[in-house]
Amino acid sequence: MRFDLRRNTAALHDSIDAAFGKLDLADRGDYARFIQAHRLAARAAEAQLADCPLVADTHLSALLEKDAAALGLAQDDFVPPALARPQHPLGIAYILLGSRLGNRLIQRGDYWGKEAPDAGRSDHYLADRSHEAHWRTLVAQLDALGPDDEERRAIEKGAAATFAAFEQALDHVLAGVPA
């Protein structure tokens, strides 16, 4: 299932990479926009995973809230419309936990605040490695799924909705939330 999911959502992955790739993360304003968009999308996605026995605890929002506070970002109650309806938790988790792999690449480069002292640190989200075991568990769950086409479609739909939520959050942030 994991490889089907990767193949069937590849265009969405490319689209979100291109959208976020326009941000210059070495620039404080763009870095703040990155954090704010991820904060909004992750919060909405995690709300659907609360108390879900299928998925290990995923608390990226807590890391993003620390970064947002360090950057002095305003609260924003925006909920991406793509996650207004319940989605399959494995599809959501696939995107949330998979994003950690992309963040590893970002962390290797230059981004604003990378060298900040601990008191002003705003890279809790990018630097976190605690979810790697959760990713391995999720991959094993996906690989163990049977041939239930309905469940597979629901998982793909959940992943697509989560990708869309990240793009909607970025569009929202770019449309008017100053950083």
Q: Is the pLDDT of residue 70 over 60?
A: yes
CATH superfamily of 2-174: Heme oxygenase-like (1.20.910.10)
Q: Report the predicted TM-score, pTM, of the whole model to 2 decimal places.
A: 0.90
**C-alpha to C-alpha distance for 150 and 59, rounded to whole angstroms:** 28
Cβ atoms of residues 89 and 158 within 8 Å: yes
pLDDT for the residue numbered 115: 67
Q: Each residue of 32-59: pLDDT tens digit?
A: 999 999 999 999 999 998 877 767 677 8
